[in-house]
Chain A
Amino acid sequence: MLGFLARRVGQTILTLLFVSVLIFGLQQLMPGDPALVLAGEERGDPAVLAQIRAELNLDKPLPVQYALWLQGVLTGDLGYSWRIREPIAAVIAQKLPVTLQLGLMAFVIALLIGIPMGILSAVRKDTLLDWSANAVGLAGLSLPNFWLGIMLILLFSVELGWLPPSGYVPLSEDWRQSLATTIMPAFVLGSGIAAVFMRHMRSAMLQALAEDYVRTARAKGLAERVVVLKHALRNALVPVVTLGALELGTLLSGAVLTEQVFSIPGFGKLIVDAVFNRDYPVVQGVVLVTAALYVLLNLVADVLYVLINPRLRHA
């Protein structure tokens, strides 16, 4: 297990290094001169542009820019946002808990809806319940997030006045307000993923239910409940866990549209604003942190497989 972990950590560092080079390179391909954007309506003045370029090292060769940035990262300094001049590490530290909370809430909602629905529709295959679960799942997948978001705001905030329409209150400040501000966006995010979970759970479950060991279990006279939940489910869960790790990663990298609609000051909004404002250091910092989260979650998923399915321990 130790050797396995060491190998994985080494891979992680290499991956992150590769990602950072990739990001740095790709950003240069983005059209639009950052100096022009940062200059705003003062963009007509060549002196202003030259000054911005000098101040931000944009006049230095690309490898030098990268080396300067990497040097900062290795010493724990992600640099300053060009737009608001705050340290990026501090901005990320501010946004990360927001996105973690939103992502985890959405994830839990998705699990609570998706997994039971997937199991039920597999067990009650080709019944009304199966069909309606499929229909609901399809709707969850195909409704655009921003539309569902705006509809929820109009219903629960404007018409009924039950929930605040947008914004965010940290958990530490007021947990009730915090849940009130995040429940709608978490539901919007979760509903799409719930549909994915449901469909994968259903097909994995159908496959498992057709296996010999299930027939054996039934032949032994085990209760159907035990057969489904103890024998079939355990095997069917492996692919769903992989999927879960990927989906959670996506959630944490920011739910751009949903955060935009609900004005949640999280990662998604941070990176979108940074891209449109050509605030490169922020883009770099956020992508690096996101990549690190992704890699970490995959590691967790690998460990989880082993726990769920003992046979993998020897693989």
Chain B
Amino acid sequence: MMFRKTLLAAAALVAALAASPAPAQTLRIGLAEDPDILDPTLARTFVGRIVFASLCDKLFDIDKDLRIVPQLATGFTWDDPKTLTITIRQGVKFHDGETMDAEAVRYSLTRHLTMQGSFRRGEINSMESVEVVNPTTVRIRLKEPFAPFLAQLTDRAGMIVSPKAAEAAGPQFGTRPVCAGPFRFVERVAQDRIVVERFLDYWDAGRIHLQRIVYQPIPDSTVRLANLQAGSLELIERVSPNDVPAVQRNARLRLSMSDELGYQGITINVGNGPRAQTPLGQNAKVRQAFDLAIDRATIIQVVYNGMFTPTAQAVPPSSPFHVRSLTPPTRDVARARALLREAGVQTPVRIVLTVPNAPDARQVGEVIQAMAAEAGFEISINAMEFASSLQAAARGDFEAYYIGWSGRTDPDGNLWSFIHSRGPQNDGRYSNAEVDRLLDAARVESDPEKRIALYEQMYRIAVVEDRSRLYLWHRKNIVAHTARLSGFVAVPDGLIRVRDLRLAN
């Protein structure tokens, strides 16, 4: 009796607390992580870029086919391979009412290059100077020809901030960013929400149909999806591939997928300290055998519900710089065994595979372990917390390391740093003079056809012959949203662009 009363009371309480709907034209987006500082010069995280997509316009943007299109710029010309002239859009206002002009562009680019703690410096340090030609034109001079330069201006390095607000706020600018994007910053509660509101004086206001956007970090992908299903969010990013069927079955939800710009792969320690002195590190035949023992499609099927794209290179098929002739190897256990015999190594070949300590990464490790065992490898998996694994890799404390790269618009951002002998992220210390020459040549080549040819030659040596690293697959950017939302365009960079988004009641 008592129990029943309590139950009734509880039910009444729950009913009284029932969720109330959000006001119309507010788009609530579920993010997989809490962004870091919202200053385009100091920001580091991918998830932060999603928020910048509504706050800060850039000189250029990329479209869904990865073509560079003007945004705050109206056009550009290369006067010579070292001189870039950019024309600036007229009549653009910052959120504080100041005018966005050539001087603001000069200020922002200089800030990106010289501010203490800038994370943009590495992206644009080929820039020697930037001059204001007139209020709508700037001229940028480079120290040497650098083909990826324009692509850098399609991301945070191309974001223009209000000089007045930036000067006033100094290093705290990111706690109240003032840019020229379609939405202006309202408030941020760390780990809870970031709120932005429509900027009425936006230069392209006709294409903005939302009043407010609330970004909410929800790290657990199941809970993110539950929020979408319950109507507490209108859009979520990084849906787990295993949740895709649930979204597809739900008539009130829509799914959007695109190949990511980056890749997942295995870095092999071929020259970084004593742990490179293994059959795997020293013998290309052993690495080839290892590669042939792995069936990419099966791993993708088992761990990622078949959603990702198998690969043998650093850029996805959607990129104009994808080398069509380079396809992932088909699994061939007999050939792998033969290669191990040719290499004259003792079997089983023991390999320690370091993987970040995430459930899916561990599972990938286990499937690779089982597959490679059939070809004569004995793999032990070393699951390490992410930050620790990064440090171990940089120190050379690994034999093989399963790791990904989020990717950059220009292929140089996916390659040079990792494969060039002077590349700062070349953790396996692969070194080949011809590969270096080809990577350097591709950097200064402005003709896309010739660049692809250079990259193809480079892959033939560094990947096909030497197998200095194994490229495994390109993940997918998977976004799910309510059917009431229209106008979403999936771009391979995985960002959520807010232009043309409409929310029906």
Contact of A48 (CB < 8 Å), options: B18, B20, B121: B121
Q: Are B218 and A84 in contact (CB under 8 A)?
A: no
The A141-176 residues at the B interface (CB cut-off 8 A) are: 150, 153-154, 156-158, 161-168, 176
Does A84 lie within 8 Å of B190, measured CB to CB?
yes
Query: What residue in chain A is nearest B406 (Cβ atoms)?
Result: A41
A5 and B223 alpha carbons, distance in the complex (Å): 46
Give the size category of A's interface with B.
35 or more
In the complex, the answer to whether A32 meets B216 with C-beta atoms within 8 Å is no
Cβ–Cβ < 8 Å partners of A262 in chain B? 223
Given known pairs A31-B385, A260-B219, A263-B218, the reply for A165 and B232 (CB within 8 Å) is yes
A42 and B226 contact, CB distance less than 8 A: no
| Distance to closest chain A CB from B143 (angstroms) | 16
Q: Is the CB of A153 within 8 A of B223?
A: yes
Give the distance in Å from the alpha carbon of A36 to the alpha carbon of B424 in the complex.
Answer: 12
In the bound complex, residues from chain A placing their C-beta under 8 Å from that of B226 are 150, 153-154, 157-158, 165-166
Q: Does A265 contact B (CB under 8 A)?
A: yes
Q: Is B128 an interface residue (CB 8 A)?
A: no
B386 within 8 A of A: yes
Q: B425 — which chain A residues lie within 8 A by C-beta?
A: 43-44
Contact of B390 among A43, A55, A165, A270 (CB under 8 A): A43
User: Which of A68-76, A177-185, A193-201, A232-240 sits within the interface?
Assistant: A177-185
CB nearest neighbor in B for A176: B17
Closest approach, in angstroms, between the C-beta of B69 and any C-beta of chain A? 24
Residues of A within 8 A of B390 (CB): 32, 36-37, 43
Contact present for B174 and A85 (CB under 8 Å): yes
Which of B116, B387, B406 contacts A51, CB < 8 Å? Answer: B116
B23 on the A face (CB < 8 A): no
B interface, how many residues as a size bin?
Answer: 35 or more
1/0 contact string of A42-53 vs chain B (CB within 8 Å):
111111100110
- Residues on A with beta carbons closer than 8 Å to the beta carbon of B220: 150, 260-261, 263
Query: Contacting A263 at CB < 8 Å: which of B14, B217, B405?
Result: B217
Most chain B beta-carbon contacts within 10 A, residue among A39, A55, A158, A276: A158
Q: Which chain B residues lie closer than 8 Å to A43 at the CB level?
A: 390, 394, 424-425
Residues of A within 8 A of B119 (CB): 39-40, 42, 48
Whether A177 contacts B20 by the Cβ 8 Å rule is yes
Given contact pairs A32-B388, A43-B425, A44-B424, A167 touches B232 in the complex (Cβ within 8 A): yes
A93 to B112, CA, bound (A): 33
* B417: interface (CB < 8 Å): yes
Complex Cα distance, B217 from A273, in Å, reads 12
A269 contacts the other chain (CB 8 A): yes
Q: How far is the CB of A134 from chain B (nearest CB, A)?
A: 17
- CB within 8 Å of B: which A51-72 residues: 51-52, 55
Q: Is B284 an interface residue (CB 8 A)?
A: no
Complexed CA–CA distance, A47 and B223 (Å): 39
Q: A55 with B117: in contact, given A161-B230, A163-B19, A263-B218 (CB under 8 Å)? A: yes
Q: Are A163 and B175 in contact (CB under 8 A)?
A: no
A32-B17 contact given A42-B122, A46-B424, A48-B122, CB 8 Å threshold: no
Interface presence of B189 (CB below 8 A): yes
Which single residue of chain A is at the shortest CB-CB distance from B219?
A260
Given A48-B119, A51-B116, A270-B191, decide whether A41 and B227 contact each other with a Cβ distance below 8 A. Answer: no
- Residue B346 interfacial (CB < 8 Å): no
From A41, A261, A278, give the contact of B387 (CB < 8 A): A278
Cross-interface CB contact of B19 among A161, A168, A179, A278, cutoff 8 Å: A161
B229 contact from A39, A40, A158, A263, Cβ within 8 A: A158
User: Which residues on the A side are within 8 Å of B445 (C-beta)?
Assistant: none
A302 within 8 A of B: no
Chain A residues whose CB sits within 8 angstroms of the CB of B129 once the complex forms:
none
Which residues of the partner chain A approach B13 to less than 8 Å between Cβ atoms?
179, 183
Asked if A42 contacts B223 (CB within 8 A), the reply is no
A94 within 8 Å of B by Cβ? yes
Nearest CB in chain A to that of B44: its residue: A40
Q: Is the interface of A mostly helix, strand, loop or mixed?
A: helix
Contact flags (1/0) for A277-313 with B, using CB distance below 8 Å? 1100000000000000000000000000000000000
Interface string of A24-38 (1 = CB under 8 A from B): 000000011100111
**Of all chain B residues, which has the CB nearest A150?**
B222
- A278 and B42 alpha carbons, distance in the complex (Å): 17
What per-residue 1/0 map shows which CB atoms of A210-237 lie under 8 Å from chain B?
0000000000000000000000000000
Point out the residue from A37, A177, A179, A263 that lies within 8 Å of B223, measured CB to CB.
Answer: A263
A44 touches B417 (CB 8 A): yes
Expressed in whole angstroms, the Cα–Cα distance for A156 and B229 within the complex equals 12
Complex alpha-carbon distance, A32 and B222, angstroms: 29
A265 and B192 form a contact (CB under 8 A): yes
Distance in Å: Cβ of A26 to nearest Cβ of chain B? 15
Assembled-state Cα–Cα distance A154/B388 (Å) = 35
8 Å CB interface, B369-427 against A: 385-388, 390-392, 394, 405-406, 417, 423-425
Q: Does B16 belong to the interface (CB within 8 Å)?
A: yes
CB atoms of A166 and B37 under 8 A apart? no
Minimum distance in angstroms from B236 CB to a CB of chain A: 12
Is A125 at the interface (CB under 8 A from chain B)?
no
**Among A48, A91, A94: residue with most chain B CB under 10 A:** A48
Bound Cα distance from A36 to B395, whole angstroms: 12
Nearest-CB residue, chain B, relative to A187: B10
In the bound complex, how far is the Cα of B45 from the Cα of A32, in angstroms? 18
A7 to B4, CA, bound (A): 50
Tell me the chain B residues, 1-39 only, with Cβ under 8 Å from chain A: 13-20, 34, 36-37
Within 8 A of A (CB), among B171-201: 171-172, 174-175, 189-192
B42 contacts across to A, CB distance below 8 A: 85
Question: Once bound together, how far apart are the Cα atoms of A199 and B18, in whole Å?
Answer: 34
Across the interface, name the chain A residue whose C-beta is closest to B119: A42
Contacts of B216 in A (CB 8 A): 167, 263
Residues of A within 8 A of B (CB): 31-33, 36-48, 51-52, 55, 81, 83-86, 91, 94, 150, 153-154, 156-158, 161-168, 176-177, 179-180, 183, 260-263, 265, 269-270, 273, 276-278
CB-CB nearest 9 A-B residue pairs = A44-B424, A32-B387, A40-B44, A180-B17, A44-B425, A265-B192, A31-B388, A265-B191, A32-B388
Contacts A163-B18, A163-B19 supplied; 16 other A-B pairs, CB < 8 Å = A40-B119, A55-B116, A85-B42, A86-B190, A150-B220, A153-B223, A153-B226, A158-B226, A163-B14, A168-B192, A177-B20, A179-B17, A180-B18, A183-B13, A276-B387, A277-B387
Report 12 cross-chain contacts, Cβ distance below 8 Å, ordered by A residue: A31-B391, A38-B44, A40-B44, A40-B45, A44-B423, A84-B190, A86-B190, A165-B230, A168-B192, A265-B190, A269-B191, A270-B191
